[in-house]
Structure 1
Amino acid sequence: MSSHTKYIKLSSNRGRWIQCVLGIVLTMIFALAGYALNELPGFHYVGPLACAMFLAVLYRQLQGYPEAVRPGVEFSAKKLLRGAIVLYGLKLNMDVVIHQGLGLLLRDVGIVIFSILFTIGLAKRFKADASLSLLLGIGTGVCGAAAIAAVSPLLKSKDEDTAIGAGLIALVGTVFAILFTVLRPWIPLTDIQYGIWSGSSLHEIAHVALAAASGGQDALAVGLLAKLGRVFLLIPLSFILMYWMKRTGKLSSEAKVEFPWFLIGFIATSMLGSYVFGKYIIVPARLMNGLSQVTAFMLTMAMVGMGLNVSFKAFREKALLPLLVLSITSIMLVGLTYLTV
């Protein structure tokens, strides 16, 4: 290789590295802007992730896709996403779920199955986008945007579908969480029953925390326990989806499904958080809270990267019917879990 060729290659690598760094910085700026927007009155109900995604989508419509920094945006959307899912495992305490919430866990299995199958069936009836509707069914049944982000690589979903799905889940989940909080004084349930209902029916951990807190500490504790059971089910569900994709390939023209190594990382961090930290290794609460905040910020950056792929035209064409399907499924889930508390 000549010295001139080496120089061109080094220059090319240096340019791509700069594009990558600038793209990551861009998603970080949007994430920080989302956190800032979340501090304004009214927006704190929505959450920083949804705020940052809204800003990213708005930027895409006004300025177009930032092609000059594509490598960095794609790094955030894919690599940071997987890293966030791995760290997300620290939020799951398997020991608590298995030993204290086994009854709730069995209930959660039914909730996940109902959410996915009902959403798919409703999507077929309304002729809504099948791939996006499946993501919404999984997000509704398991743990919202985090579940959508975790399974989208397994389903070979488009970044656009992942971003739209996460945005819709955040929107609908926020509306329901606020309704739960407002209606709590008139709901004829004990604090424990109200907590179980919140944890069994709402979409994300943040939504459960917002709604269940209005029922007191007991409601919040049992609500989060019920929700953790649904997060736990993300593990077997992911392997079931991977097996299904290998057997059918219905959602992608590629029959091969890459092994989700990030899911192994998710399981490993779950095991660490459940059986090592606090028992054999004392980890300061401040450090664990810091890791939780880093995880949330990484996930927000990843969703910004995906949000930059969304156009309003695609949103209008693909999202309206899935939004209707998601809303009906959520109403049914809230109603059925209320009747069975």
Structure 2
Amino acid sequence: MAEKSVNTRFFLGVLFTFVIALVSYLLASLPVISSVGALAVAIIISIIYRNTIGYPILLQSGIQFSAKKLLRAAIILYGLKLNLYIIFNEGLTLLIFGVFVIMFSIGLMMLLNKYLKGNKSIAFLLGVGTGICGASAIAAVSSILDSDEEDTAISVGIIALIGTAFALTYSFLYPTLKVSNTVFGIWAGISIHEIAQVVLAAGTGGDNAMAFALLAKLGRVFLLIPVSFIIYYFVQKNSKTSSSKTNVDIPYFLFGFLLLAIFNTFITIPDNILIYIDQIARFLMIMAMVGLGLNVSLQALLSKATKPMIAVFVTSLLISVITLLVTIVIY
């Protein structure tokens, strides 16, 4: 009887995240809110729920399942966005460009955070999210670092809001920049955080801009794999030399991510099926954001988020300016 009760609470916990995710998904289809995105909406609703009604402790097991297991499942499915042949044959220069963006983003974020004396964990996650692919990169790296769920949720919320603001700014700037649609597309793809935000910005430049934007962006998404394993290596190394040794879980979900990328490279999957899988992955990610958002207290949000938000804004602004100048010179 007790086991049945536990299973029921687990199911209700998962269902709870599903319902809020569905509400967030529907709200994100509305004008204005659509530019913010469902991930940010889900986190905002969850934080409001936690700080007004309270954390639904009886449903914790199901909520934690969504926050951790469904999150990793979404990252694995994300691998189907990649075609490794195209990235290495048509976008090798952009791949090298992406390495620079990642190194600059993480390095500057940590430097600014040290000066501002902000939260180190959030700053690092934001550096990874800014340099690679927003929420997905933050989710992958936070799993390797075993980051506090509150820090992860705050980081995803910040990256969603800042990235959206920059994507909208790019759209308004395009008519005044007097650059080719190729340059504009590469600039958007190499500097904006999320794929959805890249699409929002690059769409202003037309089909050619969109094609180059996605090529540049997916090259950065691919770099999530080596960057994650490098981080895992250093975390494991530090745990071995530390006086208080801790076990570091091997990020098996990244192998799944890579395997699906390889599968998508050599096996042609119909576009209608890919769209369906992409929607599933996105919805799983939204459910995970609900689980993470429920762990954020308003007090912690106000105390932890301000300084990292300043740092990520400055970092994103400098990346935008530098990558635009470099793209104009090269292309």
Instruction: Name segments (4+ residues, structure 1) moved above 3 Å.
Output: 249-255
Give a deviation string over 1:27-78, Cα, whole Å, max 9, x none. 0111111012112221010111111111111111111111010000000001
Alignment correspondent of 1:313: 299
Alignment correspondent of 1:108: 98
Q: Which of 110, 113, 117 lines up with 2:107 in the alignment?
A: 117
Cα gap change, 1:139 to 1:287, in 2 (>3 Å): same
CA contact (8 A) 1:245 1:251 kept: no
Cα gap change, 1:224 to 1:252, in 2 (>3 Å): farther
Aligned 1:316-331 pairs, distance under 5 A: 316-331=302-317
CA–CA distance in structure 2, aligned partners of residues 161 and 137 of structure 1: 13
Q: Which of 15, 19, 34 lines up with 1:29 in the alignment?
A: 19
SS at match of 1:118: helix
Aligned-residue offset at 1:251: 11
Q: Which of 211, 235, 244 lines up with 2:234 in the alignment?
A: 244
**Residue identity in the other structure for 1:265:** G
TM-score by length of 2: 0.96
SS at match of 2:144: coil
Alignment correspondent of 1:48: 38
Alignment correspondent of 1:19: 9
CA contact (8 A) 1:60 1:310 kept: yes
Q: Which of 257, 265, 271 lines up with 1:274 in the alignment?
A: 265
Aligned-residue offset at 1:252: 12
CA contact (8 A) 1:86 1:262 kept: yes
Aligned-residue offset at 1:256: 2.2
TM-score by length of 1: 0.93
Aligned-residue offset at 1:253: 6.0
CA contact (8 A) 1:156 1:252 kept: no
Q: In the alignment, does 2:79 pair up with 1:89?
A: yes
Cα gap change, 1:308 to 1:113, in 2 (>3 Å): same
Alignment correspondent of 2:283: 297
CA–CA distance in structure 2, aligned partners of residues 251 and 81 of structure 1: 29
**Residue identity in the other structure for 1:161:** D
CA–CA distance in structure 2, aligned partners of residues 156 and 24 of structure 1: 21
**Residue identity in the other structure for 1:127:** K
Alignment correspondent of 1:338: 324
Cα gap change, 1:239 to 1:307, in 2 (>3 Å): same
CA–CA distance in structure 1, aligned partners of residues 184 and 54 of structure 2: 45
Q: In the alignment, does 2:189 pair up with 1:199?
A: yes
Aligned-residue offset at 1:254: 5.2
Aligned-residue offset at 1:131: 0.6
How many residue pairs align between the two structures? 326
Q: In the alignment, does 2:127 pair up with 1:137?
A: yes
Cα gap change, 1:255 to 1:197, in 2 (>3 Å): same
**Residue identity in the other structure for 1:201:** S
**Residue identity in the other structure for 2:307:** L
Coordinate RMSD, CA, aligned: 1.4
CA–CA distance in structure 2, aligned partners of residues 131 and 164 of structure 1: 11
Alignment correspondent of 1:257: 248
CA–CA distance in structure 2, aligned partners of residues 335 and 13 of structure 1: 57
Alignment correspondent of 2:62: 72
CA–CA distance in structure 2, aligned partners of residues 175 and 251 of structure 1: 41
SS at match of 1:39: coil
Q: Answer with 246-255 or 169-178: which moved more.
A: 246-255
Q: In the alignment, does 2:153 pair up with 1:163?
A: yes
